[in-house]
A and B are shown apart, each in its own frame.
Chain A
């Protein structure tokens, strides 16, 4: 596995459910250690791509490899290399936060699942809540726990399927902060989102998935070049409601 090879490589991916064709030939590559955003509206097929890459679904045609392993022929090696954080935070509500982390640590065969759990609870600001059942957590805490669970075992590639859907602005900023830290640590992040701003703020490269194919992809600067150059205009800049909200509750975007 050469370090220069991409962390994720997708070629000609197709998938239909009954007669409905969801993916009609998807191609993209994600460089190691980068944040790649798959942008698209609801039903564009983002989740289907993530499910195929995380070995939960077989494509009808096309190939995909993650961390150098083919998802079809080496699914176990792929699973060793990834973590999936789903759209609906997949945490166990009846267990405590700490028990959730220990469970994943044991399944990933860590030497010291308890120690790892305590470290992650600290790191994600959940130390006080660690002994409480997840059922009592807020949406933001749940999502942070979900991401913390994904980090156990230090997988080189992480899939975040709509990680901020349903979160309040503060929760979203906390999650963004964690995603940036991940990429700085060398983890490859594939992020799906329907929020344009999220892709703009986080991603090194952005691909727009529309009606089953990638219609454009590139860096933000490259995508901007697709439109006529910016004109200089004088516009009175009103603060957005989000800026107002964040400033009165005392957080910085």
Chain B
């Protein structure tokens, strides 16, 4: 059975990846907005922001990457919704395959397509002055944190993908996620924010993840941030996965 799970998941991944590569507009949409934010903050607002750094592009980068992922996963919700609507979801479930491969195909596709967007955005970042002294190990750690973050948000996206009644509903849930980095340490130090806002900003997951990635890029000690970031991502992943599986079981016998 294990061999079937892997083989069937490979077929599903292949199918879903074709959906991504044949609608390149989705990758463009997903990368354009974060790149626009990157340019906006670097060249328009950047001069007025006192972030206590000599390279504001470096400061921005982690938050921009999280925005890219938060908007990228909405396509997973959308593609899953379209599968439910079209009936191909039921066709797969009436076939002698490992049923888990149907969802995992979408989840793995999300990891691949978000990795592509992240790479494109880092490329643009390098062009406008992003520099990192990080070694291989630190880069791997960044990749690990971003992968875990993508995995957690993707399972979150599976929930509306399975339960929404319109395609807009299946993807709209990601808007608040895209907004979350703005109320965090992603663009400005949280110390500049008024009391309650600052309390929220300092205790929400994006701040911990951004601080951890920023430290890894800058060869700084990561301290507790990395553990806090991993704890947040793992917690979101576990809760989202549980709800997604519950929604899945309601849809299919």
Contact = CB atoms under 8 A, between A and B. Distances in A.
Interface of A: 51, 54-58, 75-76, 79-80, 82-84, 86-95, 99, 103-104, 106-109, 133, 149
8 contacts: A51-B90, A56-B93, A56-B253, A88-B86, A89-B87, A90-B87, A95-B15, A104-B95
Interface string B1-27: 000000110010011001100110000
Given A55-B253, A79-B95, A79-B96, A94 B90 contact: no
Interface in B41-97: 86-88, 90-97
A56 B90 contact: yes
Contacts of B15: 92, 95, 103
Contacts of B86: 88, 90-93
A94 B15 CA distance: 9
A55 B11 contact: no
A157 to B, nearest CB: 11
B94 A88 contact: no
Candidate in A56, A75, A88 with the most chain B CB atoms within 10 angstroms = A56
Contacts of B14: 103
B252 interface: yes
A92 B22 CA distance: 13
B182 to A, nearest CB: 34
A107 B94 contact: no
Per DSSP, chain B at the interface is helix
A87 B88 CA distance: 11
Interface residues of B, number: 22
A50 to B, nearest CB: 9
A209 B95 CA distance: 26
A109 B95 CA distance: 11
Contacts of B22: 94, 133
Contacts of A93: 86
B93 A90 contact: no
Contacts of A91: 86, 88
| Residue with the highest number of chain A CB atoms closer than 10 Å, among B11, B96, B253 | B96
B8 A107 contact: yes
B249 to A, nearest CB: 11
A71 to B, nearest CB: 9
B91 A94 contact: no
Contact of B87 (A80, A83, A88, A94): A88
A7 B104 CA distance: 34
Contacts of B23: 94
A95 B88 CA distance: 12
A108 B18 contact: no
Given A58-B253, A99-B18, A92 B95 contact: no
B233 to A, nearest CB: 31
B9 to A, nearest CB: 11
A76 B88 CA distance: 18
